[in-house]
A and B are shown apart, each in its own frame.
Chain A
Amino acid sequence: MTERYDIAVIGGGNAALSAAMTAAEAGARVLILETAPKAYRGGNSRHTRNFRCMHRGPLGPLIDDYTEEEYLADLLQVTGGKTDEQLARLAIRTSKDCLSWMQDRGVRFQPPLSGTLSLARTNAFFMGGGKSLVNAYYRTAAKLGVDVLYEAAVTHLELQGDRIARVDYTHRSEGHSLSPKAVVVASGGFQADIDWLTRAWGPAAQNFLIRGTPYNRGAVLADLLDQGVESIGDADQCHAVAIDGRAPKYDGGIVTRLDCVPFSIVVNNNAERFYDEGEDVWPKRYAIWGRLVAAQPDQVGHAIIDAKSINLFMPSVFPPIKAGSLEDLAGKMGLRADKLRATVEKFNAACGDTSAFHPTELDGVATTGLNPPKTNWARPIAEPPFYGYSLRTGVTFTYLGLKVDDRAQCRTAEGPIQNLWAAGETMAGSILGQGYLAGFGMTVGTVFGRIAGAEAAKHADP
């Protein structure tokens, strides 16, 4: 077994598959080690819906233009400048060719989903979502002769000098090793390891929900960092959004998203508001609410809405809690009724003229003299029935990762590791220091997966 493979690819998501297909097309014998069982293969990639793609003129499902400069400016904005410009430009430029590369390997695209028209120019949507992308890639990889081992958890990469000498993994609870010529790490972040999250974040992390796969526990990342492989990013940096508090602990995915905040007031367990719910349009504020909720007692929030607003946002998977009076709603949500009424009345009294209300634009319908204010869409919560959603922090992925160069190669303080490359979430911190741009995760995985696969194949067969 040990000598049969030129390259071991660790992980079974978008980045791993992009690397494996590229290497196999170059003639390398490739083995994918995926820790998940087949039914759960594909990591977080199975939950995705689109990737962000630069283009000049209409391309596939994409309309108009999305230039390199605009793309870069969008990235710089969300990261507050914490972007490695050279790697970012590499990802952006290559994204242009990714669309047809993906199509050639079985991915199909569809027009933007209803409710996401704002992304029609920048993001190409996968028909059927990320799991159908992953399925197509596994089929293509199989045709290229790539072997896949499911339920194969990599536990250790033996670093000897400037080379990975051995890959240790368990398969069906038995230990195995192999010594391929080259290794590609594409095993995602560590967000599913709650203990690690807790070390980085403090005890609050115990109450976080993990939006994606339970299998991204950072085992390989930790192992490599322990051996002095260079890292990038901080352990407490993660992408976290506010999701429905009833979501499963892991793998709830897209359907637990809640878009109701701009039309609600959000209170904590003490029935007190804590942030401006109307600060900006929701897609731009989506990602800060994970942290806001994480800072509240017990890491929960409660969005309170009344009858006139309930149909203004995308439905989520769980129906809202519904009650005829605020007191009843408070009872059902475990809040003190008198305090909730007081908060709502204070808010209602601060609302002014609501005639300019416009659900999809910054309408300037704001409160006066309230702290914190609500600066848009501020309408009194007055019309029964009343509705409530509980909010919790949902972690999408972590940023701490492997530092790579423009050839996706990993390094120690002494210099590059001759036969180790990394792609996808596990190295995305090399490009973005913080913040996130929708659809960039799949772009990074595809671009750097392809680079890592090509480099590893070149190394295996010089």
Chain B
Amino acid sequence: MQTLDLIQEARRQAGICNACRYCEGYCSVFPSMHAGRAFSDGDIVQLANLCHNCRGCYYACQYTAPHEFDLNLPAALAEVRRDSWESFAWPQLLARRFHTHGGAVALVSVLGFALILWAIRGLGGNGDGFYATLSHTAMVAIFVPAFLLPSVSIGIGLRRYWRSVGGQRVRLSHLMTAFGKAVRMKDLAAGHGEGCNFEDEDRFSHARRYAHQAILYGFLLCFASTSAGTAMHYGFDLHAPYGFWSLPKLLGVPGGILLTIGCGWMAVLKRQSDPALGDVRAWGGEKAFVLLLGFAGLSGLLLYGLGQTPLMPALLALHLGAVLAFFLLTPFTKMAHGFYRSAALIRDAQRIDTADRKN
């Protein structure tokens, strides 16, 4: 379906919800929806990015198929959401390749492995530990652009998003409200604090919330570990390899474990859930992305564990290749959701703030 059809379908369903309002307590989507009577395209995109696909409103809905109103708000919003990420992404050439194509994600991963292998062969190493296999300079030459390019791309995408939803100048209070929600994953607990309706129809459960938290905090710890390593390398002239009691390892090992467990758990939950309540077409792409992220975590752990064995060069290529693919794909895969959801929460904080001022 085309963007406008997807938005139109979500608008049709939002019109029904707005006349009903029974789900108001579940999440941030409904209060935002019920604040207006008519929905612009930007409003629908904002609602879509506020939704985290908990499915509470589907199982609670008296109008789901076979009823002629055919409500399936989680799916309608998921499709608009993915389509919005695709339409905001830069460069457009890559935008519509990965969300809906698990194979493309796998292909980029393989290319990542190949590139690292080639670098190992071609550039070689000249230091201790991993740097004996791939020199520090070579790693920097590969990973600095691989980090900066996606960052620029995400920045451009977010700016386009902000314009489309009518965002205003951001104040500190908006950020506090928004990130307060994100950190606690308040919405993932649902309005009554009992979680999502994900892996077992209408049963409320925290499994998805906890799996997601493991992924988020695992990822952040891994990221912090790399940052600590960078700071130690350049700031303090302390070079890898680091021992277990060093900052990079103390952050990285638990981070890797959390990330691996979280991604594995999420993949299982996804398999148990009903695909028809999400973005059916993005099913494969999302799955591939979760597996890639989990693999990045797992290969990092293996590398740490088996770093002294002859397997090391191969594991290094796999790990760095996965991380490389992950970074490059960030703007074009499910990973983008973290950025857009944060932006949506900030926008919602602005809406509430403006409404409060009026009263």
Among A51-59, A126-134, A275-283, A382-390, the one that faces the other chain is A126-134
Q: Is the CB of A113 within 8 A of B24?
A: yes
- A interface residues (Cβ-Cβ under 8 A, vs B): 39-40, 46-47, 49, 108, 110-111, 113-115, 125-132, 135, 139, 248, 251, 253-255, 257, 311, 314-317, 319
Q: Which of A251, A254, A316, A317 is within 8 Å of B22, CB to CB?
A: A254
Chain A residues with CB under 8 A of B34: 114
The 7 A-B residue pairs with the shortest CB-CB distance, nearest first, are A129-B22, A128-B60, A110-B25, A132-B60, A255-B19, A108-B192, A135-B202
Among B63-71, B111-119, B318-326, the one that faces the other chain is B63-71
With A131-B60, A132-B202, A248-B68: A316-B19 Cβ-Cβ less than 8 Å? yes
Beta-carbon contacts under 8 Å, B20-75 to A: 20-26, 31, 34, 37, 56-57, 59-69
Q: Is the CB of A39 within 8 A of B57?
A: no
Q: Which of B16, B23, B65, B194 is within 8 Å of A255, CB to CB?
A: B16
With A110-B191, A314-B19, A317-B15: A127-B25 Cβ-Cβ less than 8 Å? yes
Q: Is the CB of A254 within 8 A of B20?
A: yes
Q: Which of B19, B31, B62, B66 is within 8 Å of A47, CB to CB?
A: B62
Q: Smallest CB–CB gap between B29 and chain A, Å?
A: 13
Q: Smallest CB–CB gap between A311 and chain B, Å?
A: 7
User: Can you show 24 pairs from A to B with CB atoms below 8 A apart?
Assistant: A40-B66, A46-B62, A108-B25, A108-B192, A110-B25, A110-B191, A114-B24, A114-B31, A114-B34, A115-B21, A127-B25, A127-B192, A128-B59, A129-B62, A131-B59, A131-B62, A253-B62, A254-B20, A255-B20, A314-B19, A315-B37, A317-B15, A317-B19, A317-B20
Most B CB within 10 A of own CB, among A135, A254, A255, A314: A255
Chain A residues with CB under 8 A of B15: 315, 317, 319
Q: Is B203 an interface residue (CB 8 A)?
A: yes
Report the nearest A residue to B22, measured CB to CB: A129
Most A CB within 10 A of own CB, among B16, B34, B60: B60
Q: Which of B22, B56, B59, B60 is within 8 Å of A113, CB to CB?
A: B22
Q: Smallest CB–CB gap between B44 and chain A, Å?
A: 16
Q: Is B230 an interface residue (CB 8 A)?
A: no
Whole-angstrom CA separation of A126 from B31 in the bound complex: 16
Q: Which of A46, A110, A126, A254 is within 8 Å of B19, CB to CB?
A: A254
Whole-angstrom CA separation of A24 from B192 in the bound complex: 27
Q: Is B342 an interface residue (CB 8 A)?
A: no
Q: Is B151 an interface residue (CB 8 A)?
A: no
Report the nearest B residue to A132, measured CB to CB: B60
Q: Is the CB of A129 within 8 A of B67?
A: no
Whole-angstrom CA separation of A108 from B67 in the bound complex: 25
Number of interface residues of B (CB under 8 A): 32
Q: Is the CB of B25 within 8 A of A111?
A: yes
Whole-angstrom CA separation of A131 from B23 in the bound complex: 11
Q: Is B18 an interface residue (CB 8 A)?
A: yes
Report the nearest A residue to B63, measured CB to CB: A253
Q: Is the CB of A135 within 8 A of B22?
A: no
Q: Which of A39, A46, A108 is within 8 Å of B194, CB to CB?
A: A108
- B interface residues (Cβ-Cβ under 8 A, vs A): 15-16, 18-26, 31, 34, 37, 56-57, 59-69, 191-192, 194, 202-203
Q: Is the CB of A128 within 8 A of B57?
A: yes
Q: Is the CB of B67 within 8 A of A251?
A: yes
Q: Smallest CB–CB gap between B358 and chain A, Å?
A: 15
Report the nearest A residue to B194, measured CB to CB: A108
Chain A residues with CB under 8 A of B67: 251
Whole-angstrom CA separation of A311 from B18 in the bound complex: 14
Q: Smallest CB–CB gap between B39 and chain A, Å?
A: 11
Q: Is the CB of B66 within 8 A of A39?
A: yes
Chain A residues with CB under 8 A of B25: 108, 110-111, 125, 127-128
Report the nearest B residue to A317, measured CB to CB: B19
Chain B residues with CB under 8 A of A108: 25, 191-192, 194
Whole-angstrom CA separation of A39 from B62 in the bound complex: 9
Chain B residues with CB under 8 A of A49: 22
Chain B residues with CB under 8 A of A126: 22
Q: Smallest CB–CB gap between A140 and chain B, Å?
A: 11
Chain B residues with CB under 8 A of A115: 21
Whole-angstrom CA separation of A131 from B71 in the bound complex: 14
Q: Is the CB of B19 within 8 A of A315?
A: yes
Other contacts beyond A108-B191, A108-B192, A129-B22: 12, CB < 8 A: A47-B62, A108-B25, A108-B194, A113-B22, A128-B26, A128-B59, A130-B22, A135-B59, A135-B202, A255-B69, A317-B15, A317-B20
Q: Smallest CB–CB gap between A221 and chain B, Å?
A: 24
Whole-angstrom CA separation of A251 from B68 in the bound complex: 10
Chain A residues with CB under 8 A of B68: 248
Whole-angstrom CA separation of A248 from B37 in the bound complex: 22
Q: Which of A39, A129, A319 is within 8 Å of B60, CB to CB?
A: A129
Q: Smallest CB–CB gap between A106 and chain B, Å?
A: 9
Whole-angstrom CA separation of A128 from B197 in the bound complex: 12
Q: Smallest CB–CB gap between B121 and chain A, Å?
A: 58
With A47-B62, A130-B62, A139-B203: A110-B37 Cβ-Cβ less than 8 Å? no
Q: Smallest CB–CB gap between A246 and chain B, Å?
A: 12
Chain B residues with CB under 8 A of A128: 22-23, 25-26, 56-57, 59-60
Whole-angstrom CA separation of A39 from B63 in the bound complex: 10
Chain B residues with CB under 8 A of A139: 202-203
Chain A residues with CB under 8 A of B192: 108, 110, 127
Chain B residues with CB under 8 A of A253: 20, 62-63
Whole-angstrom CA separation of A128 from B190 in the bound complex: 11
Chain B residues with CB under 8 A of A129: 20, 22-23, 60, 62
Report the nearest B residue to A257, measured CB to CB: B19
Chain A residues with CB under 8 A of B24: 110, 113-114
Chain B residues with CB under 8 A of A111: 25
Chain B residues with CB under 8 A of A319: 15
Whole-angstrom CA separation of A67 from B109 in the bound complex: 67
Chain B residues with CB under 8 A of A131: 59-62
Whole-angstrom CA separation of A253 from B64 in the bound complex: 12
Chain B residues with CB under 8 A of A311: 37
Chain B residues with CB under 8 A of A254: 19-20, 22
Chain B residues with CB under 8 A of A127: 23, 25-26, 60, 191-192
Chain A residues with CB under 8 A of B56: 128, 132
Whole-angstrom CA separation of A135 from B55 in the bound complex: 14
Whole-angstrom CA separation of A111 from B26 in the bound complex: 11
Whole-angstrom CA separation of A155 from B355 in the bound complex: 55
Q: Smallest CB–CB gap between B201 and chain A, Å?
A: 8
Whole-angstrom CA separation of A115 from B67 in the bound complex: 26
Q: Smallest CB–CB gap between A177 and chain B, Å?
A: 30
Chain B residues with CB under 8 A of A113: 21-22, 24
Whole-angstrom CA separation of A39 from B19 in the bound complex: 22
Chain A residues with CB under 8 A of B20: 129, 253-255, 317
Whole-angstrom CA separation of A316 from B18 in the bound complex: 8
Whole-angstrom CA separation of A201 from B13 in the bound complex: 36
Report the nearest A residue to B36, measured CB to CB: A315
Whole-angstrom CA separation of A132 from B64 in the bound complex: 13
Whole-angstrom CA separation of A126 from B64 in the bound complex: 18
Q: Smallest CB–CB gap between A45 and chain B, Å?
A: 10
Whole-angstrom CA separation of A115 from B22 in the bound complex: 12
